[in-house]
Amino acid sequence: MSGSSSSGAPGGSTDYTPPRKMGRMLAVLIVLLVATNAVTAVTVYYVTAPTATVQTLRVIGPWAGPEKAKFLPVLNLFHNQTGINYEYITTRQEDLQSLLPNWFAAGRAPADLIFMPSSFVKQYGVQGHAADLASTITQTNYAAGALDPLKDGSKLYGGAYTGKVKPGFWYNKSFFTANNLQAPTTFTGFEALLADIESRGLVTNQPIISGDGVGWPLSDVVEHFIATYGGPGMHRALTAGTLSWTDPTVRNIFATYLVPTLTKRDVCVNGCWSAPRQWDTGVTEWWAGDYALYFMGSWITGMVPNPADIGVFSLPGGVSTQGIVFAADYFFVPKYATQLDSAKRLAAFLGSAAAQTEQVKVGGHIATVTGVPSSAYPPLDASIAALLTGKEVLSDLDDTKGGTFQTTFWAQLQALWADPSTLDTRLANIQAAA
């Protein structure tokens, strides 16, 4: 209480003492208060204790809108099986790249389980910020190599949820049928298809829409050219840094296959690719007939009004053994999770056939674990999964490398799309960041 020590004494005396009877009354009051507080404390403990078992698990993921609606049933299934409540928060991974390190530096985490690229998970796992899930996740459930980007020796810093195949160019089957167009079987046929679409004025813009955002859809395109015409060995060597981006074999992939379709008048008078467009709104533009082809991952099947009318073909020709990029959605449990045990239970669940079966049946997802029956997939996704047959599955190159390489890679590809004549400069800049 503020004020002098004599403020409560009559006449301002500092040696005031209460009468003896008042002292006995105060003593009784103190005893009662202590007893009352003890009862209150016990009551509060038993009233609030059950909340320790009714936990709220915070999950951060990148999905919003329709994609979020397709993920929540999986979390609902986990809740129904365990009784653990959850809160799902949508946050862009690009934003988390800069935000999470600050949380970790303070020994805290904004959620108990977070979806992030594999390069981020491994980097901060090695630094001690992610829980080791080696004894939590049943690794034998996974397809070979699915967890490799998350491993450091015997430690496993995260898990792989379902993934998306990045198989090639999507098209509207009704549009192709109406205009007597066929999926190409050779690269020459691919160039002829593009030239035909442009010369006949079948679309209002270029034949191919260039999906973009921060640059990553363009990187998917480049990886597909490398995996098809350079093969999985070249893709893995570039990922590992054992092959230079300026190597003649790598440059040849760009110069022979990609650049001619980017350059105006080489194949298409106005260039076969549009200027980079925001990738998600671009889906609507493409489906409306502004463009004929769209290179995108298999999540696009959940973004069109009639998935039964969508078709896809990979780049034709190429080396005898080709690769195909399979991009898993990776997750990890921060070391600082407030619900660490429950978060580990969710991690194990997301790596199970039960969870991934629930996810793939709504479309747009391919399982990373075994035990998911083919009958669980919608027909279109079953055909997409079949595209993996005979091809080596590759991890997403720039997601695996991450860091400044990834942002440099994206920026240099955007610059290449703007001016294909700068190829050598772009490759040199990419190599400098590698």
Whether 148 and 268 share a structural domain: no
Specify if 6 maps to a domain: no
139 shares its domain with 174? no
pLDDT of residue 54: 55
- Does one domain contain both 173 and 258? yes
pTM of the shown model:
0.72
What is the tally of structural domains in the chain?
2
| pLDDT at residue 229 tops 90 | yes
DSSP 231-252: HHHHHHHHHHT-S-TTSHHHHH
Same domain, 172 and 142: no
The long-range contacts involving 143-147, CB below 8 angstroms and separated by at least 24 positions, are 143/368, 143/369, 143/370, 143/393, 145/393, 145/395, 146/328, 146/368, 146/369
pLDDT of residue 302: 81
pLDDT at 20 over 90: no
Structural domain that includes position 309: 168-313+402-433
Q: Is pLDDT of 378 > 60?
A: yes
pLDDT at residue 203 above 90? yes
- Summarised one tens digit per residue, pLDDT across range 317-364 is 999 989 889 889 999 999 999 999 999 999 999 999 999 999 999 888
| pLDDT of 63 over the 60 cut | yes
With respect to residue 383, please indicate whether it lies within any of the assigned structural domains.
no
Residues 188 and 217 in one domain: yes
* The residue to which tokens 């008078």 are assigned: 269
**More confident call, 8 vs 253:** 253
Domain-embedded: residue 334: yes
**Residue 237 pLDDT exceeds 80:** yes
| pLDDT at residue 6 in the model | 31
More confident residue, 332 or 31: 332
156 and 305: one domain?
no
162 has a pLDDT exceeding 80: yes
pLDDT at residue 27 in the model: 40
Of 414 and 327, the structure prediction assigns the larger pLDDT to 414
Indicate whether 358 and 423 sit together in one domain. Answer: no
Residue type, 32: L
Is there a single domain that holds both residue 234 and residue 282?
yes
- The answer on 360 and 333 residing in a single domain is yes
Would you say residue 82 lies in a domain?
yes
Q: In this predicted structure, what is the pLDDT of residue 62?
A: 95
Paired tokens of 330: 């990776």
127 and 83 belong to one structural domain? yes
Percent of the chain whose pLDDT exceeds 70: 88
pLDDT for res 385: 79
**Residue 251 and residue 364 in one domain:** no
> Once rounded to an integer, what is the mean pLDDT over residues 37-47?
31
What Cα–Cα distance (Å) separates residue 349 from each residue in 62, 75, 137, 339, 352? Answer: 19, 10, 8, 15, 5
Does 421 fall in a domain? yes
Query: What is the domain-level CATH number for residue 229?
Result: 3.40.190.10
Averaged over 41-52, what is the pLDDT? Answer: 32
| Model confidence band, residue 299 (pLDDT cutoffs 50, 70, 90) | confident
Q: Is the pLDDT of residue 93 over 50?
A: yes
333 occurs within a structural domain: yes
Is the predicted pLDDT of residue 52 greater than 90, yes or no? no
Asked if the model's pLDDT at residue 4 lies above 70, the reply is no
In 20-173, beta strands by DSSP E: 56-61, 85-90, 113-115, 151-152, 155-156, 159-166, 168-172
Mean pLDDT of the chain: 87
Q: How many C-beta atoms lie closer than 10 Å to residue 242's C-beta?
A: 8
In the chain, what is the straight-line distance between the N-terminal and C-terminal CA atoms, in Å? 65
Greater model confidence, 255 or 148? 255
Residue 74 confidence (pLDDT) above 70: yes
Residue 101 CA to residue 145 CA, distance in Å, equals 28
Asked if residue 247 is part of any domain, the answer here is yes
In a domain? residue 255? yes
Q: Are residues 123 and 227 in the same domain?
A: no
Distances, alpha carbon 208 to alpha carbons 128, 160, 311, 325, 377, in Å: 44, 31, 15, 20, 28
Q: Which pLDDT score, from 0 to 100, does residue 298 have?
A: 87
Q: In 3D, which of 344, 338, 330, 332 has the Cα closest to residue 107?
A: 338
Instruction: Calculate mean pLDDT across residues 270-277.
Output: 95
Question: Residue 47: what pLDDT?
Answer: 30
